[in-house]
A and B are shown apart, each in its own frame.
Chain A
Amino acid sequence: MPSMIHVEHLVKNYGTFTAVGDISFDVEAGEIFAFLGPNGAGKTTTIKILTTLLKPTSGSVEIDGLDPTIHQNEVRKRFGIVFQDPSLDDELTAYENMDIHGVLYKVPRRIRVERIESLLKLVELWDRRNDRAKTFSGGMRRRLEIARGLLHTPKILFLDEPTLGLDPQTRNHLWSHVRKLNEEERVTVFLTTHYMEEAERVARRIAIIDHGRIVAQGSPEELKAQTGSDTLEQAFLMLTGSSIRDEEASPLDRMRNMSRLWSRR
Chain B
Amino acid sequence: MNVIAVLWLRQLKRYVRSRARIVGALGQPLLFLLGLGFGLGPVFEKAGQGNYIQFLAPGVVAMTVLFTSVFSGIELIWDRQFGFLKETLVAPVSRLTIMSGRVLGGATVAVVQGLIVVAISFVAGFRVADWTAIPLALLFMALLALLFTALGTAIASLLSDFQGFQLIMNFLVMPTFFLSGALFPMRDLPWALNILVRINPMSYGVDGLRGALTGISFFSPALDMSVLAVVAACLLLLGGYLFSRIQL
Contact = CB atoms under 8 A, between A and B. Distances in A.
Interface of A: 48, 51-55, 73-74, 76-77, 79, 81, 83, 85-92, 96, 99-101, 103-106, 109, 132, 148, 251-252, 254-256, 258-259
Contact of B10 (A74, A81, A89): A89
20 contacts: A48-B248, A53-B89, A73-B94, A79-B90, A83-B86, A87-B84, A87-B87, A88-B84, A90-B82, A96-B10, A100-B10, A101-B87, A101-B91, A103-B2, A103-B3, A104-B87, A104-B91, A106-B92, A132-B17, A252-B81
A92 B162 contact: no
Nearest to A54: B247
A101 B1 CA distance: 12
Interface of B: 1-3, 6-7, 10, 13-14, 17-18, 79, 81-84, 86-94, 160-162, 247-248
Contact of B14 (A81, A85, A91, A254): A91
Given A53-B247, A54-B247, A101-B87, A251 B81 contact: yes
Given A89-B14, A91-B14, 10 more contacts: A87-B82, A88-B83, A96-B10, A99-B6, A104-B3, A104-B6, A104-B88, A104-B93, A255-B81, A256-B81
Tell me the interface secondary structure of chain B in the complex. helix
Contacts of B160: 251
Of all A-B residue pairs in the complex, the 3 with the closest CB atoms, nearest first, are A87-B83, A104-B91, A76-B92
Nearest to B2: A103
B94 A92 contact: no
A69 B90 CA distance: 12
Nearest to A55: B247
Nearest to A74: B92
A70 to B, nearest CB: 14
Given A73-B92, A76-B92, A91 B17 contact: yes
A87 B86 contact: yes
A112 to B, nearest CB: 10
B248 A54 contact: yes
A171 to B, nearest CB: 21
Nearest to A81: B90
Contacts of B2: 103
A151 to B, nearest CB: 11
A136 to B, nearest CB: 14
Contacts of B88: 104
A83 B91 CA distance: 13
A107 B64 CA distance: 38
A259 B78 CA distance: 10
Given A53-B86, A87-B83, A255-B161, A73 B93 contact: yes
B90 A51 contact: yes
Given A85-B83, A255-B81, A105 B91 contact: yes
A92 B7 CA distance: 12
Nearest to B97: A104
Nearest to B91: A104
